[in-house]
Structure 1
Amino acid sequence: YGRFNQGVVTVNLVDIGLSANRDMKKFWEIFDERMELCHRALQARHERLKGTLSDAAPILWQYGALARLEKGEKIDKLLYNGYSTISLGYAGLWECVYSLIGKKLTEEEGKELGLEIMRKLNAACAKWKAEENIDYSIYGTPLESTTYKFAKCLQKRFGIIKGVTDRNYITNSYHVHVTEEISAFDKLKLESEFQALSPGGAISYVEVPNMQDNLPAVLNVMKFIYDNIMYAELNTKSDYCQVCGYDGEIAIVEEDGKLIWECPNCHNRDQDKMNVARRTCGYIGTQFWNQGRTQEIQERVLHL
């Protein structure tokens, strides 16, 4: 059977960090309040599904995609006992930790606080699960477009704070910031500790150049992934300009405060006449992105 998830609610960790104003006692108090807010929102998602008949989606509920229920049978029993999950998403661990103690996740003190926050997220889910027999779990929210929404809300509420709200995106889940200079192997090793605490869903990546002429390096990275981390990927570019035939990397340029995709060869800017493929947050996206995610893509440094 396929995976069955009842829904996700994402907590903006950066907002909690900034709201605490570097006071750790206050941080944990606000953290607990936000956890309960997320809990209530997840319960609403759960309640919304109760009473749904298998007839609503026969392929899912009757023919084996998710279950094999009888016609007219309610799906309620599948919402309990670990048959399905319901996800507490999280975003911006990097900025949250930096806002609290001025340390990065790549620094020991920052890493330890980051891991403590992850353990607290898991503890909240474990408590709810024990009380309700619903399989709550921690999930690294992909933030395909929400990264921009969260960032703009933070800027509106707290202003521009260097290293925290000075970009139009926030970092996905537990990831090392996209601008951080770090090797592929160090990044994967570090993030493996956080990924182990994100059992409901997580993915790590390393950004690489064109590796067609260096396949041994690709194999070395893949072997390291196999030995050290549950789920990771190599990000590369796959672009094409339909106007001039250029098949290198389509550039992102800024004009009047707006980021624009442009062919570096013929300067074509018509998105209908170019193909751009980028790993968004776990899958390959080709439909272009909002300004926040585009800035994040533009600022990614190579790890290899």
Structure 2
Amino acid sequence: MKTCRSFLSPYKDENGNYKFYGRLNQGVVTLNLVDIALSSEGDYEKFWNLMEQRTELCHKALLCRHKRLEGTLSDVAPLLWQYGAFARLEKGEKIDKLLHNGYSSISLGYAGLYECVKYMTGKSHIDSQEGHDFGIKVMQFMNDKCDQWNKEHYIGFSIYGSPIENTTYKFAKCLQKRFGIIKGITDRNYITNSYHTFVKEPINAFDKLAKESEFQALSLGGAISYVETDGLVNNVDAILEMNKFIYDHIMYAEENTKSDYCQICGYDGEIKIIDEGGELIWECPNCHNRNKDKMNVARRTCGYIGTNYWGKGRTQEIKERYVHMTDIAEDL
């Protein structure tokens, strides 16, 4: 089983009834779309050839995961396999029947659609028609690959917007090592999650959700969109309008609000991230406390709300997020 954004395709049991609860995911292998774009040097023919090669590499890696699970006995985790979390198999029974025919999914992850499109077209996939069309082609290519593999193996391949919590930094550092610093592409310690709008992009919440919804609809194995907000305690009407809009326009989205507290001075506003010579430091703007043990910070990372701080890449990404909805009611 994977993260909160994982999505299972419809499945009917032996009685023809739809079943959603208790199913599972066999794992994910993530495609670095930025690396493919940079490796192509902007040549479209080379780009699509590399997409063929890299998706096939992911295909083989996913089959390794699948084959590693085959033959596993239900006894290894009775709570999961025998007592109903995933299934109610007999003791000593193999889990194999749950790995085939779409009962469980297996995910082709992807990351960095924004940087990929930006490098290839010079434009964003969100704010330009050319970028949008190329981004949709990339998403459709991955969907077509999953359809092809499903016909070959009858397993349950689908594409998945990987959260890349720590991998965002790992991917960014690998890209810098391979390709150097490229303005707007590799000049930061993170790459953009899945199909998301670039975090610095000045766009209002409703436009962001509306535009991302088209890409989310092609991320059939799981995805999540977010809106970055202030506390919104003085703008409750905005939350209600936002939730209505989410319901009507997109499958899965959340608001990223802040919930911080300084244990030294009692400040309960937003704890800031200060850049001192390239080192990112959490600091209370009221008393300038920098002791992490004396403050509480909560941020949504890529789906989950975390309170234990983050690596360099994700911390920079959090610092640079554009606020799509403020605590001022007039914005609505």
Q: What TM-score does the superposition give when structure 2 sets the normalisation length?
A: 0.90
| 1:77-116 equivalences in 2 (<5 Å) | 77-105=97-125, 106-116=127-137
1:224 and 2:241 matched: no
Equivalent residue in structure 2 for 1:72, among 92, 96, 101: 92
Q: Which residue does 2:290 correspond to in 1? A: 269
Q: Which residue does 1:206 correspond to in 2? A: 227
Q: SS of the residue aligned with 2:208?
A: helix
Whole-angstrom CA distance in 1 between matches of 2:315 and 2:91:
46
Equivalent residue in structure 2 for 1:134, among 122, 139, 155: 155
Equivalent residue in structure 1 for 2:44, among 17, 24, 32: 24
Aligned pair count reads 304
Equivalent residue in structure 2 for 1:240, among 261, 265, 282: 261
Q: SS of the residue aligned with 2:297?
A: strand
1:173 and 2:194 matched: yes
- Aligned 8 A contact 2:273 2:319 in 1: yes
Whole-angstrom CA distance in 2 between matches of 1:38 and 1:31:
10
Whole-angstrom CA distance in 1 between matches of 2:298 and 2:77:
32
Q: SS of the residue aligned with 1:179?
A: coil
Unaligned regions of 5+ residues in structure 2, if any? 1-20, 326-332
Equivalent residue in structure 1 for 2:164, among 143, 147, 165: 143
Unaligned regions of 5+ residues in structure 1, if any? none
Whole-angstrom CA distance in 2 between matches of 1:201 and 1:59:
25
Residues 224-280 of structure 1: per-residue CA shift (max 9 Å, x gap)? 110000000111100011111111111101123210111111111111111100010
Equivalent residue in structure 1 for 2:75, among 55, 65, 87: 55
Whole-angstrom CA distance in 2 between matches of 1:293 and 1:69:
41
Whole-angstrom CA distance in 1 between matches of 2:278 and 2:322:
21
Whole-angstrom CA distance in 2 between matches of 1:2 and 1:232:
23
Whole-angstrom CA distance in 1 between matches of 2:224 and 2:79:
28
- Aligned 8 A contact 2:37 2:119 in 1: yes
| Deviation of the 1:2 alpha carbon | 2.7
| Deviation of the 1:3 alpha carbon | 3.6
Residues 147-167 of structure 1: per-residue CA shift (max 9 Å, x gap)? 000001001110111111011
- Aligned 8 A contact 2:75 2:91 in 1: yes
Whole-angstrom CA distance in 2 between matches of 1:97 and 1:201:
21
Whole-angstrom CA distance in 2 between matches of 1:68 and 1:253:
52
- Aligned 8 A contact 2:296 2:307 in 1: yes
Q: SS of the residue aligned with 1:234?
A: strand
Whole-angstrom CA distance in 2 between matches of 1:90 and 1:161:
21
Residues 21-53 of structure 1: per-residue CA shift (max 9 Å, x gap)? 110000000010000000011011101111110
Residue 246 to residue 3, structure 1, CA distance change in 2 (3 Å): farther
| Deviation of the 1:128 alpha carbon | 0.5
Q: Which residue does 2:312 correspond to in 1? A: 291
Q: Which residue does 1:282 correspond to in 2? A: 303
- Aligned 8 A contact 2:23 2:103 in 1: no
Q: Which residue does 2:143 correspond to in 1? A: 122
Q: What TM-score does the superposition give when structure 1 sets the normalisation length?
A: 0.99
Structure 1, 262-271 or 83-92: larger mean CA deviation: 262-271
Q: Which residue does 1:8 correspond to in 2? A: 28
1:39 and 2:51 matched: no
Amino acid at match of 1:131: E
Whole-angstrom CA distance in 1 between matches of 2:237 and 2:178:
48
- Aligned 8 A contact 2:231 2:259 in 1: no
Amino acid at match of 2:227: V
| Deviation of the 1:71 alpha carbon | 0.4
Amino acid at match of 1:81: N
| Deviation of the 1:210 alpha carbon | 1.9
Q: SS of the residue aligned with 1:8?
A: strand
Whole-angstrom CA distance in 1 between matches of 2:159 and 2:227:
22
Whole-angstrom CA distance in 2 between matches of 1:303 and 1:263:
23
Whole-angstrom CA distance in 1 between matches of 2:153 and 2:145:
12
